[in-house]
Structure 1
Amino acid sequence: MNLTAQHKLGSGFGHRSTAREVLSGLDLTGKLAVVTGGYSGLGRETTRALAAAGAHVVVPARRPSLARESVAGLNTEVAELDLADLGSVRRFAARFLASGRGIDILICGAGIMACPETRVGPGWEAHFAVNHLGHHVLVNELWPSIRPGARVVAVSSAGHQLSGMRWDDVQFDRGYDRWLAYAQAKTANALFAVHLDALGRDSGVRVFSLHPGAILTPLLRHLTRAEMVERGWVDEHGDLADPEFKTPEQGAATQVWAATSSLLDGMGGLYAEDCDIAERTDRTDMVAGVRDHAIDPGEAERLWALSARLTGSDAFR
């Protein structure tokens, strides 16, 4: 059970480790990775580190031309994908499946945070739709290409501590709160990893979620400088003020660790942070640790059923 397996392993890495340090000595030549959001912020550093270790990285992108500029010179390819448009997700997956290639690493890292109320598809709340449902469809549609021994990694956040699944109003139809919407979506990312791992482990595919840390990236685009000053993240000039914040290279480390570490062989469905498995916590102030509501197998199964019903995608039916 995930609730009892959430304990630190003593990985030898930590808060300040970088993605390249985590991959030092690993040869990923011949491996294929898919990294959503792999051309911006933490995603670009993830792509850079995986490619430097020898992997070929496929970068699905809503803005392909910008993505090609961002990852130019790396062992990558860019393909169009908009997580807010499930038709786009399915077209990307169909093109990939037609290529006949297999996936060794799939990192679901793209997302939005604290945006104004936005509706996509048939009226779904955007955080839930983009951060979770888009990735649910992507992974299920790509499932035939995910090789035995592969790792799937869902990028969650300590923000999950602020809200479990709001089963009575998942789509925020009865009043919108941008931070609770983000928090629910991050809980959904973690729960997705729990149930996909349960479904995929017999095929040799293991799944993890993680908190990358606090980092100044384009994910913060919907926050004003005044809001970030009030939270103590930056000073009045916009310069970093919080010493606990990571660099993008450090922020990419935990997802790369979850995707490649041999310490995790035989494990799955767990939530990581600072390049190790996280301990459980019952606090709600976004400190270290994972709340039980984000790793509960029953909640994970319920979310999977809802997601499959909403999107029509379930590779395990």
Structure 2
Amino acid sequence: MQAGRPLDILINNAGVYAPPETRDRRGYDMQFATNFLGPFQLTLGLWEPLKRSGNARVVNLSSIGHMFSGVDFADLHFDKRPYDPMLAYGQSKSAVALLSMQLDTIGAEHGIRAFSEHPGGIATELARHMSDAELAAREQVRGEDGKLSVPEGFKSAEQGAATSIWCATSPRLNGVGGVYCEDFDIAKPVPND
């Protein structure tokens, strides 16, 4: 990015889903590092250009998977408990939602609004690490070529990206931030979530 230029929109869309236990070079759980720490570090590195915009939006992809787990601040990287890929995924996506809320709290005075969003079930290779039994529970199968089938009701990649674009551009979100969005709207809270 050219020095001194403002940045109006940042969409943090990197993600991994339920791989076997893997650590990055720092020893951090790979899901937490990719799904949370990467967006956090990129946003931090771009904070000054976002502030220069005076009207910036940061969109962080969370997931309904946040319902699998809260954030275990005492054991972020599964050093003390057995590794569970789904809990690790849920924890990383819960952390993303919390990040968006905090970014909005500290960024609003600089004209930076932050959002987290659930793109929906997307027909991509994100679930490639799941076993055949886990895939079957989602009504998905792995073909002979290794590609995953698309279950009924899943979205295309383009459809999945649509809410991110909506969060980044919709006038309905002017003056709003720190909210969780899905399907072109602010999600309705559910009990115990």
Relative to the length of structure 2, the TM-score reads: 0.90
Aligned ranges 1:1-317 → 2 under 5 Å? 96=1, 98-146=2-50, 147-173=53-79, 174-234=81-141, 238-241=148-151, 243-282=152-191, 291=193
Answer whether contact 1:214 1:245 (CA < 8 A) is retained: yes
The alpha carbon displacement at 1:230 in A equals: 3.0
The alpha carbon displacement at 1:228 in A equals: 1.4
Can you give the 5+ residue segments of structure 1 that lack an aligned partner in the other structure?
A: 1-95, 284-290, 292-317
Can you give the 5+ residue segments of structure 2 that lack an aligned partner in the other structure?
A: none
Using the TM superposition, name which of 248-257 and 154-163 deviates more: 248-257
Residue 252 of structure 1 aligns to a residue whose secondary structure is helix
Structure 1 residue runs of 4+, over 4 Å off?
Answer: 234-238
Letter in 1 for 2:127: L
Residue 46 of structure 2 aligns to a residue whose secondary structure is helix
Using the TM superposition, name which of 231-240 and 183-192 deviates more: 231-240
CA distance in 2, matches of 1:222, 1:187: 21
Answer whether contact 1:229 1:235 (CA < 8 A) is retained: no
Q: Deviations over 1:137-169 (max 9, x none)?
A: 111111111111111000000000111111221
Residue 222 of structure 1 aligns to a residue whose secondary structure is coil
CA distance in 2, matches of 1:102, 1:225: 46
Relative to the length of structure 1, the TM-score reads: 0.56
The RMSD of aligned alpha carbons is 1.7
Q: Deviations over 1:121-143 (max 9, x none)?
A: 32111111111111111111111
How many matched pairs? 187
CA distance in 1, matches of 2:109, 2:127: 38
The alpha carbon displacement at 1:235 in A equals: 7.9
Q: Deviations over 1:259-286 (max 9, x none)?
A: 0000000000000011100011136xxx
The alpha carbon displacement at 1:221 in A equals: 2.3
CA distance in 1, matches of 2:133, 2:150: 13
CA distance in 2, matches of 1:235, 1:170: 31
CA distance in 1, matches of 2:170, 2:140: 31
CA distance in 1, matches of 2:117, 2:4: 30
